[in-house]
Amino acid sequence: MAEVNNWYELGPFTVFDVETTGMSPVRDRIVELAAVRVDQDGKITRFESLVNPNCRIPPQVSRVHRITDNMVVDSPKFSDVGYKFLDLAKESTLVAHNARFDLGFLQESLSRSGLPLWKGKTMDSIRLMKQAYAGLPSYSLQSLRRTFQLEDLREGLQAHRAGADVEWTVQLLQIAFTELLKKVGS
Nearest partner of 15 among 185, 174, 186, judged by Cα = 174
Sign of the Cα pseudo-torsion (88, 38, 66, 64, in order):
positive
Dump the DSSP string for 102-152: HHHHHHHHHHHTTPPPP-S-EEEHHHHHHHHSTT-S---HHHHHHHTT---
Report d(CA 18, CA 165) in Å as an integer: 9
| pLDDT value at residue 5 | 81
Residue-wise pLDDT tens for the chain (186 aa)?
A: 457 789 999 999 999 999 999 999 999 999 999 999 999 999 999 999 999 999 999 999 999 999 999 999 999 999 999 999 999 999 999 999 999 999 999 999 999 999 999 999 999 999 999 999 999 999 999 999 999 998 776 556 666 688 999 999 999 999 999 999 988 875
Q: Where are the domains of the chain?
A: 7-178
Which residues are identified as catalytic?
160
CATH 3.40.50.720, applies to 7-178: no
